[in-house]
A = this chain, B = another copy of it.
Amino acid sequence: MNGAQSLIRTLVDAGVDVCFSNPGTSEMHFVAALDTVPEMRGVLALFEGVVTGAADGYARIAGKPAATLLHLGPGLGNGLANLHNARRAHTPIVNVIGDHATYHKKYDAPLESDIEPVAGSLRGWIRRSGSTADVGADAAAAVAASQAPPGRVATLILPADISWGDGGVAVPPIPPRVPHAVADTTVKSIAEVLRTGEPVALLVGGPACREPGLRAISRIATATGAKPFVETFPARLERGAGLPAIERLGYFAEQVTEQLQGVRHVILAGTKAPVSFFAYPGKPSDLVPEGAQAHTLAELDQDVVGALEALAEEVAPGTEPVLQQPHRPDLPTGPLTAQNWVDVIGALLPEGAIVSDEANTSGVRLPAATAGAPRHDLLTLTGGAIGQGLPVATGAAIAAPDRPVVALQSDGSALYTISALWTMARENLNVTTVLLNNRAYAILRLELLRVGAEGSGPKAMELLDLSRPDMDFVKIAEGMGVPASRATTAEELAEQFRRALAEAGPHLIDAAVPSLL
């Protein structure tokens, strides 16, 4: 058994049986080893940002890591933005990076590159395999590290000669670490805060964004009057009819300020105190209202849901959560607008859908329109590095082949990782992409106003304009093997969305929505 074979066998034994791959020469023994471990599925992507984003989307849905296969420092660089998003989502990923053979590095061949400092920027776990005999143990450690609460990117660097060398040993999985329970005294002291009668906001994130956590939050809020919020960009938020509908904290500081207006206490569970996404001249970065106190019920690496349930038992015994009633918008008509496209999605979103949302400014009205749709999972742009939506949808569809995946994708951010469409076609994934084509970096037009940039004029506006030339996403999608159509009215969008959902495999709808600015 060579090193690569021991690596793949160990991963599979630990439950990691999908590897999103964009290999090069130094990874050829890993590629060859796929044929010797039939349980491992290799999924090819044509760009590393698709590899890493798909691994993120996969784990958010599968609840276990996928592996990646990247080619030296440049391959890691190309995958870094979506690994950044995965880091912020606390997604477990086993990030395998091939490197030159150990004895070859000193020659400084053209692809020689520093891998550790780049991977180190992810603040996760890193190991470089030093001998073929250790690769299995390294792989088992990487899986365990990736899954240790709250989850992280575990990077395993695999030199080519370590990979091709003989003497690999498959190693059994390391039992996963479980999150530590929150102390009773902490739960009780938070209960005291809730009993003061002062205005309280309860802000949750991470694992609390799924049904058990949401039910606990709803009970606490109902019994105490605390205002509950979900963090701005949850990795995976369960929502829709039959689940408590918890409002997300806004993206813009002004929204958050309004949401937290008058609050004297902010209770945090599985997330950090709210801060502005960006800094703006003369505006605060820290969004905890002045004079309010932040209290932490549970850190992300603790048992967040258990703590919320304990708190609910403490302050809301016998109280039931308030569940969202089924409600869908009527199917709208007429040319597409910022409102009616979200109504189409809300009206037609199928049961059990997974929604990958990178609609950005086009999607500001989406939460309301889909609140009462059938139960679905929402995957969001956790780290703010755009180009995540299509890869995350790809990975989610691999994780849940029987569930419909809907990618809501803006034009500006689509181009970073557009070749995800090709992988969707290759793997015949049930992903319906609605491409919100407003022909602009609309969010940046807004930000240009918000930052109060002086002197801005036609050259600045031109740098935020995507209409010269217009992109034809029907052609781009078809060019990558994904059937596509164009919608300019709500009726067309509804008809095409319905049809795409009814047919197996990927589809793209190029939806001509107006820019808000």
Mark A residues whose CB is within 8 Å of B.
2, 5, 21, 23-26, 28-29, 31-36, 42, 44, 46-47, 49, 73-75, 77-81, 83-85, 88, 100-101, 103-104, 107-111, 113-114, 117-118, 120-121, 123, 160-161, 164, 233, 272, 275-279, 281, 285-286, 382-385, 387, 412, 415-416, 418-419, 422, 425-426, 443-444, 447-448, 451, 453-460, 462-466, 468-481
A-B residue pairs, 3 tightest by C-beta: A77-B80, A469-B481, A32-B453
- The 22 listed contacts between A and B (C-beta, < 8 Å) are A25-B277, A25-B447, A25-B451, A26-B278, A28-B453, A32-B454, A32-B455, A34-B460, A34-B463, A46-B415, A46-B466, A74-B80, A74-B81, A74-B85, A75-B385, A77-B118, A78-B80, A80-B118, A117-B120, A469-B481, A471-B479, A474-B479
Which of A81, A275, A412, A473 has the most CB atoms of chain B within a 10 A radius of its CB?
A81
- A88: chain B residues at CB < 8 Å are 110
A422-B469 in contact (CB<8A): yes
- A83: chain B residues at CB < 8 Å are 77
A121-B110 in contact (CB<8A): no
CB distance from A209 to the nearest CB of B (A): 16
- A418: chain B residues at CB < 8 Å are 418-419
B281-A469 in contact (CB<8A): no
- A286: chain B residues at CB < 8 Å are 107
Smallest CB gap from A466: residue in B: B46
B480-A278 in contact (CB<8A): no
- A475: chain B residues at CB < 8 Å are 475-476, 478-479
Q: If A35-B456, A46-B412, A426-B468 touch, does A107 touch B28 (CB 8 Å cutoff)? A: no
Smallest CB gap from A383: residue in B: B110
CB distance from A197 to the nearest CB of B (A): 30
CB distance from A74 to the nearest CB of B (A): 3
A46-B104 in contact (CB<8A): no
- A444: chain B residues at CB < 8 Å are 23-25, 28, 31
A471-B31 in contact (CB<8A): no
A108-B34 in contact (CB<8A): no
CB distance from A430 to the nearest CB of B (A): 16
A25-B278 in contact (CB<8A): yes
- A460: chain B residues at CB < 8 Å are 31-32, 34-35
B463-A471 in contact (CB<8A): no
A480 to B412 alpha-carbon distance, docked (Å): 13
Smallest CB gap from A19: residue in B: B463
Q: If A120-B117, A459-B35, A475-B475 touch, does A448 touch B277 (CB 8 Å cutoff)? A: no
Given contacts A73-B121, A164-B451, 14 further A-B contacts (CB under 8 A): A23-B463, A28-B453, A29-B453, A32-B457, A33-B453, A44-B465, A100-B279, A107-B285, A108-B275, A110-B382, A110-B383, A160-B279, A164-B453, A475-B479
- A447: chain B residues at CB < 8 Å are 24-25, 28
CB distance from A426 to the nearest CB of B (A): 6
Smallest CB gap from A117: residue in B: B117
Q: If A35-B456, A74-B385 touch, does A46 touch B109 (CB 8 Å cutoff)? A: no
Which of A84, A88, A286 has the most CB atoms of chain B within a 10 A radius of its CB?
A84
Which of A29, A387, A463 has the most CB atoms of chain B within a 10 A radius of its CB?
A463
- A415: chain B residues at CB < 8 Å are 46-47, 419, 422
A455-B26 in contact (CB<8A): no
CB distance from A190 to the nearest CB of B (A): 23
A454-B2 in contact (CB<8A): yes
Smallest CB gap from A426: residue in B: B468
Q: If A31-B453, A32-B456, A416-B47 touch, does A384 touch B277 (CB 8 Å cutoff)? A: no
Smallest CB gap from A4: residue in B: B453
Which of A21, A34, A455, A471 has the most CB atoms of chain B within a 10 A radius of its CB?
A455
- A117: chain B residues at CB < 8 Å are 117-118, 120-121
Which of A110, A451, A456, A465 has the most CB atoms of chain B within a 10 A radius of its CB?
A110
A103-B285 in contact (CB<8A): yes
- A470: chain B residues at CB < 8 Å are 481
Which of A74, A425, A451 has the most CB atoms of chain B within a 10 A radius of its CB?
A74
B463-A42 in contact (CB<8A): yes
CB distance from A94 to the nearest CB of B (A): 18
